[in-house]
Chains A and B, each alone.
Chain A
Amino acid sequence: MIVKPEDRKLALTHEILMSIDKPSRYTGGEPNSVMKDPDKTKVRFVMCFPDVYEIGMSHLGIQILYGLFNSWDDVWCERVYSPWTDLDKIMRDRKIPLFSLESQSPVKDADFLGITIQYEMCYTNILQILDLSDIPFYSKDRTEADPIVIGGGPCVYNTEPIADFFDLFYIGEGEVRYRELIDLYEDCKKAGICREEFLKKATGIEGIYVPSLYDVTYDENNRFVSMKPKYDFVPAKVKKQLVKDMNEAFYPTAPVVPFIRATQDRAVIEVQRGCIRNCRFCQAGQIYKPVREKSVDYLLDHAKAILKNTGYEELSLSSLSTSDYSGLKRLLEELMDYCGQKKINISLPSLRIDAFSLDVMNKVQDIKKSSVTFAPEAGSQRMRNVINKGLTVENILNGAEMAFRGGWNKVKLYFMLGLPFEEKEDAEAIAVLCNEIAKVYFETVPKEQRQGSVQITASSSFFVPKPFTAFQWAPMNKPEEFLEKAKITKAAVRAQLNQKRISYHYHDCGTTIIEGVLARGDRRLSASIEYVYRHGAIFDAWTETFSYENWLKAFEETGVDYTDYIFRTRPDDEEFPWDFIDSGVRKEFLLREWKNASMAKKSSNCREQCMGCGCTEFGCGVCVE
């Protein structure tokens, strides 16, 4: 029998719920959450985002898979998020097992625990989830009583630091192969085939990677040498899965609507997947290749259905680079018309600033409050050529001038520091660019028309090289180098004529270093992650809970030279622990791009000219336009 939401028995008592922050993080029952009769389903799949509810509920990928899985009668997909530190403590003290939001029953009883791995700094939270669920950390220690633990998301493009914690990984877009995997599971369950055999059979499904079925070797310097399948039937290369036609792919028109305000608290339509830009620092730009658009009509239908089914008063467009969507003009015009009548706001993603986007922003945003955003990523043109960010000073200054004429006086700018081949002058160039923008304001807007003055906010993050990018060979800056560069930028800002109009911030560098290690590390790091977790690390993505010293101690105690993963330039012929993944983008292409970067030589985007990255083999999207 399906239990009505108001009659659901909660896993936590009234007393506990009243003693913690935001108890409705844990009570489920949100509009569009799905209740099913467990006796009428064959597979219970618990989907996890290993961070706090408000973050996890903002993630589109889980909403897609949740909707897809629950559209199948034999599967009940439920959700679980990381209990915040207040509840975490109570659950440990009172030995309360981690439960899913829908059925409020233990995660351990599920058939699958699927974990989406969106950023490296959530790795300790993965262990928290396993720990509170009473599931052994290591795949090798699990029994028939434990769920199959499967990972997906962008971090699977280097799974190795967490490989030992997972039974299998799904490489690529979830829409494609899950039905096959679940069918196999059901067949195995019915036939009484054990966990180990199921995992072996799962390697026959494209995109599935079972880490325990590979031998990894290291050389005398403790460096990764190779990874070889243990059996003939296990593929040496695992192929990324992707949706070929986005207009045919499942998209949830009745997503779960959180009661409490999530970080992204609005209806979302995904206009396209992938990006044409080939920015050399960007992992998403490579792993989601090739760009595949949805049709305007399909998007309009979905937008209307989602708004109707959720009651959201705000709609946003999602993609890596929405300005590149070819149907943007018509889509926005029709959406503005529809949403205007319904009193629904359109929240715009960071569009490239030009006459069109300013016109749209003017219509949907309150200029007094809003700002225009640029992401030059680097201050000097030479550095922008190194990273292949096709944005010129002229683009920025012209865009700013148009915005100032249109009544805006707030400008936000995003930069990175610590990029490969970066010099002192490049750090200073950030300040010069900010000053130029302020200058444009004073030249453009006559004194009597100035309402308040121009405000320029520049922030820089520290660069982390990622697998499957042109910078996978690049060394990272050391903490002192990062801070030195931030100081140079800061001092340069202060030296500008318009310095009072510019505020400059930079991110924490401890997190950056650890993220770098986890991004390009190998399997030996699982011991370090376990160590740091056992010594209290959790919610590392949150500044208030992150401890850099804890991590350094963990590397030391587990005998890992973390510096070797991040501070050296990797030789051109180095084998990487992620080379076994066939992402469609060839290593030779990335190496060519690495060489182009060293010469500050620009490359074209996928629409201008094919760069021959290898993705044409997928035969879809921009490659066949």
Chain B
Amino acid sequence: MTFRFKFSRRGPVRYLGHLDMMRYFQKVVMKAEVRAKYSEGFHPHQLMSFAYPLGVGMETDGDYMDLEMEDGNDPDEVMKALNSVMNEGVYISAVTVLREGAQNAMAAVTAATYELILECDDPIEGRLIIEKAVEEMLASDTIMADSKKSSKNIRPGIFELMVEPNADEQGIRLYMFLSSGSKLNVRPADLFNTLLTMPSVASAGSSFKMSLLRRLEIFGMTEDGKHVPLINPDVL
């Protein structure tokens, strides 16, 4: 049976890369002494996979890990056991059992939401500039983003993009709802870099720094085409 865990990661532990995060979870499973299933072969390993690799520096409130378990494990007990040995800003907030034949987490991903905090010397002025840039971006049909290898039009993958009020007056808070997964993957960092090339930012001469990037939720798609969180029974 496969368990799907929803987890958050906040604080200094966000500077781990994806592979280190995986190693961290493997150790947590060992420490908790829950009965995970192992691969065959000379060096058996846990059968663990993630919906979406977490980049270095990114926080999350809604990432997902799938883990193969031996039969007879109780999901809530396992979640409790894992959380009891997890003390480093990582926390499992929900668990569910996948039905037989369900898509694995990575294949199921279609979208994700993010918040991004920007810092600027003059936050009031800066906020206006970013609001303008967002408007410009949403008004055009084509937004070319340069990632490492290629340049692609990310505009169809921007479902929502808005500047939000920020309780902490320190920065400018951007909310984004972006297409993810194999169809069209829009990386928040690429979007941010492209935003900085918008005419209103380029002409303003202010400099913006990203001080926080946090994934809020990862979505899959229901049969009738709705984005729902990866733990929703309709995508399991």
Report A's interface with B, CB cutoff 8 A. 5-8, 10, 13-15, 17-18, 23-24, 27-31, 257, 259-261, 307-313, 342-345, 366
Given contacts A6-B89, A14-B212, A23-B57, contact A29 B11 (CB under 8 A): yes
CB neighbours (8 Å) of A308 from chain B are: 31, 33
- Of chain B, the residue at the smallest CB distance from A307 is B30
Query: What's the Cα separation between A29 and B89 when bound, in Å?
Result: 9
Say yes or no: is B159 at the interface (Cβ < 8 Å to chain A): no
Asked if B88 and A31 make an inter-chain contact with CB atoms under 8 angstroms apart, the answer reads yes
CB neighbours (8 Å) of A17 from chain B are: 15, 57
- Of chain A, the residue at the smallest CB distance from B30 is A311
Say yes or no: is B94 at the interface (Cβ < 8 Å to chain A): no
Could you say which of B13, B15, B20, B44 contacts A6, with CB atoms under 8 Å apart?
Answer: B13
Given contacts A29-B89, A311-B28, contact A8 B56 (CB under 8 A): no
In whole Å, how far is A166's beta carbon from the nearest beta carbon of chain B? 32
In whole Å, how far is A413's beta carbon from the nearest beta carbon of chain B? 25
Size class of the contact patch on chain B = 20 to 34
In whole Å, how far is B50's beta carbon from the nearest beta carbon of chain A? 16
Give 11 A-B pairs besides A18-B57, A311-B85 with Cβ atoms closer than 8 angstroms.
Answer: A6-B88, A6-B89, A14-B211, A17-B57, A24-B13, A27-B15, A29-B89, A259-B24, A260-B16, A311-B27, A313-B45
Asked if A310 and B15 make an inter-chain contact with CB atoms under 8 angstroms apart, the answer reads no
Report B's interface with A, CB cutoff 8 A. 10-13, 15-17, 20, 23-24, 26-31, 33, 38, 42-45, 56-57, 85, 87-89, 209-212
Asked if A5 and B88 make an inter-chain contact with CB atoms under 8 angstroms apart, the answer reads yes
Asked if B11 and A309 make an inter-chain contact with CB atoms under 8 angstroms apart, the answer reads no
Asked if A6 and B11 make an inter-chain contact with CB atoms under 8 angstroms apart, the answer reads yes
Query: What's the Cα separation between A496 and B11 when bound, in Å?
Result: 60
Asked if A6 and B10 make an inter-chain contact with CB atoms under 8 angstroms apart, the answer reads yes
In whole Å, how far is B3's beta carbon from the nearest beta carbon of chain A? 18
Query: What's the Cα separation between A30 and B24 when bound, in Å?
Result: 10
CB neighbours (8 Å) of A366 from chain B are: 42-43
CB neighbours (8 Å) of B31 from chain A are: 308-311
Q: List 23 A-B contacts (CB under 8 A).
A: A5-B87, A6-B11, A6-B88, A8-B11, A8-B12, A13-B211, A14-B210, A14-B212, A17-B15, A24-B12, A24-B13, A29-B89, A31-B24, A31-B87, A31-B88, A259-B20, A261-B20, A311-B27, A311-B31, A311-B85, A313-B26, A342-B30, A344-B30
Could you say which of A29, A307, A313 contacts B13, with CB atoms under 8 Å apart?
Answer: A29
CB neighbours (8 Å) of B212 from chain A are: 14
Query: What's the Cα separation between A343 and B209 when bound, in Å?
Result: 46
Could you say which of B15, B43, B87 contacts A24, with CB atoms under 8 Å apart?
Answer: B15
Query: What's the Cα separation between A15 and B13 when bound, in Å?
Result: 15
Query: What's the Cα separation between A259 and B33 when bound, in Å?
Result: 20
CB neighbours (8 Å) of B210 from chain A are: 14
Given contacts A310-B27, A311-B27, A313-B26, contact A259 B56 (CB under 8 A): no
In whole Å, how far is A523's beta carbon from the nearest beta carbon of chain B? 42
Given contacts A18-B57, A308-B31, A312-B30, contact A24 B88 (CB under 8 A): no
Query: What's the Cα separation between A307 and B15 when bound, in Å?
Result: 25
Query: What's the Cα separation between A359 and B89 when bound, in Å?
Result: 44
Query: What's the Cα separation between A260 and B12 when bound, in Å?
Result: 13
In whole Å, how far is B90's beta carbon from the nearest beta carbon of chain A? 8
Most interface-central of B12, B42, B211 (chain A CB within 10 A): B12
